[in-house]
Structure 1
C-alpha cells in the first residue's frame, strides 16, 4: 500500500505520537534533562511495557502549557497525513492536560482543537478527540476525568476510553466513569486484551458497555469470545506493530489480526504510539500486506470498517467517505 492510500486511524495516543525530536526540543527550551529516556540514536528507549509507560509519562512532563499541546498536535497530524491518514481519533488525558481541572482542561482542549483546524486546512486530515482515563491512576481520578469529558462533550470531543496498565484493577471499577460519559452522549471504548487475557476483553465489554475495544487481540485465545464479539459487531482497534514491538507476538505472521478477521470480527488498523514502536500507518499496511497477502480490496474494506466505527457525527463521516471512494 502506498503512503497516499487514504487511511482511517482510530487508536492513537496524542502524547505517544510525539516525535522524539519534538520532545527533545521542548525539553531543551525548558532546560529539562530527560536524556535518560532516549537511546544513542535519539529514539525512545525502554525494555518492556511497564518501562514504556514510565518513559511515556517522562516525555509528557515536557508538555507544560496549552501552547505545547498546540505544537504537538500540529507535529503529530503532519506525520499522520504524510502516511495517508485522512481521519484520526486521538486519546487525550485531562490528567496530563491541566490535572483534571475542568477550567484548565478547556484551555488545553481549545489549543488542541485550534491546531486540529489548522492541520485540516493544511494537510486535509480531520481529527476528533477521545478523553481517556488512566487505569493505573485509579478509579477516583477517573471520575474527575469523566467529568472533564462530560463538560466538553460535543461535535469534536466524541468519545471516552480507558488506557494504561491493564493489570491494575478491574473494568467494573471504572463503571461510574463510563456511565457518566455515556449520559453525556460520548461513545465508549477501552483498552483490553493486550496485557490482560481474553477475560479482560469480556469484562470490558460486559461491565463498561463499550462498542470498541482498544487492542482486544488476546480474545483469540477464547474462540467463543471471538464469535461473541463478531456477533455483537464490536470493533477491535488493532495495533499490530505495537503488539510486536512490545513482545506480545514474535512477528507479523504470528499476529492474530488475520485470524480474527477471517472469523468475522470487525478489525481496524492503528499505530498506537508510532515513534515508540518505529511505525507509521503506511508501514502497518505494508507489513500486513507482506505477512498475509492482503490486497487493496482488504485495506479498502478495513478503512470503511474503521470509518463506520468512528465516533464522529454523520456529516463528518459522509465527508470522509467521499474521500475514501475517490
Structure 2
C-alpha cells in the first residue's frame, strides 16, 4: 500500500474567537456556571440553528458562557491546539472590545487571556497565532471608533490587526474611515467583512474608504468583473470561508461557490472556517472539500497557504519561518 503524502501545511486568517468554541467546551462551562443549555445543541451534540437569526441567538448564548480570563485562555488554547492537529502552522482570530465588556471583563484582561492561550498552544505544538481586534458595524460609528481607540491604547505583542465585523448591510464603509485611520496610524493590519450578505458595492466601499489589504469573505465581488480585476490589480487578499457561506445560504452548495472562479481570475484566495463548530466545519475540512470539488492538487493547496502567509498580519521574521516550514513540508511531494 502506497503511503499518503503528508498534509500540506495550512494557515487561517478568518475565525471569530467566540465562534470557535467547540460544543464540548460550552457544555463544560455550562456545568461550571449552572446554566441550562435548553435548545442550544441538537441530539447529536451540534449547535442547533436553522437561519441567520437563530444562528446569532445560538452564538450569543454560547459566547455568554465565557466569563473569566481562564475561560478565554482555555478557549484560545483549545482552538489553536485543534488547528495544529489539522496541520495548521498559523492562525489569526478576531476578538472584540465589545464582547469583552459583554463578558464582564476589561478589554485588556480579555485580550491578555486569549493571548496567553495562543502562547500555550504555541509552546505545545509550535503553531503561530495572532489576534485581530474588531469593531462591530451594526453597533454604530462611535462604537467602532471606540473599539479602535481601545485597541491602540492597549497594545499586545500578538495583537497585530484591526477589522470591521457585524452586519455589513448596516452603515456605509465611509462612516468608519476615522476608526480605520486610528488603527492604520498605529501600524495595525486592516481587514473588513464585505461581499458576503452585501454585494459588490459593499466590497467597493471598503476598498475605497478603509484602505484594507484583506477582505473578509469578498466572494460576491464575482458579480462585478471590473471589481474582480481591481482586486487582482491592487493585490487584495480574500479571506474565503466556503463552508460558512453555504451554511448561511449565500450559496446552495460548494459546486456553485465562486472560490475557484475567483482564483482562476487571479485573485489571491485563502481558506478559513469563520465559526467552525457552528457551521460543522474545520480548516482541514475546508482545504479537503474545496480540493475534492474543484480538483485542486497539492501545488494549489500550497499556493493557498502561501497566500495566507503573505497576507498575514505578523512580522517578516515570523513569515520567513512559516515559509520555511511550508517549503520543507512540501519539498519532496510537489
Q: TM-score range by the shorter chain?
A: over 0.9
1:25 maps to: 28
Out of 29-38 and 67-76, give the one that drifted further: 29-38
The residue number in structure 2 matching 1:134 is: 136
C-alpha displacement at 1:2, in angstroms? Answer: 7.3
1:190 is aligned, of 189, 192, 196, to 192
| 1:8 equivalent in alignment to 2:35 | no
Cα shift at 1:155: 3.4
Q: Distance in 1 between matches of 2:92 and 2:51?
A: 26
Q: Which runs of 5+ in 1 are unaligned?
A: none
Distance 1:100 1:58, change over 3 A: closer
Matched, 1:34 2:44: no
Larger mean CA deviation between 47-56 and 123-132 belongs to 47-56
Q: What does residue range 33-112 of structure 1 map to in structure 2 within 5 Å? A: 33-99=36-102, 104-112=106-114
Checking the alignment, whether the CA contact within 8 Å between 1:235 and 1:268 is kept in structure 2 is yes
The answer as to 2:167 corresponding to 1:160 is no
- Counterpart residue number, 2:331: none
Distance 1:90 1:49 in 2: 21
Runs of 4+ in 1 over 3 A off after TM superposition: 1-4, 98-101
The counterpart of 1:298, out of the listed 297, 300, 323, is 300
| CA distance in 2: counterparts of 1:53 and 1:210, whole angstroms | 26
Contact map agreement 2:131 2:161 (CA 8 A) in 1: yes
Q: Compute the displacement of 1:36 (Å).
A: 2.4
CA distance, structure 2, for counterparts of residue 19 and residue 133 of structure 1: 24
| CA contact 2:64–2:103 (8 Å) conserved in 1 | no
The worse-fitting range, judged by mean Cα deviation, of 235-244 and 153-162 is 153-162
Aligned length: 325
Deviates more, 1:219-228 or 1:39-48: 39-48
Aligned equivalents of 1:50, 1:227: Cα separation in 2: 34
Aligned to 2:275: 273
Which residue does the alignment assign to 1:215?
A: 217
Secondary structure (helix, strand or coil) at the match of 2:278 reads helix
Q: What corresponds to 1:151 in structure 2? A: 153
Shift of 1:49: 2.0
Alignment RMSD (CA, Å): 1.7
Where does 1:305-316 land on structure 2 (aligned, <5 Å)?
305-316=307-318
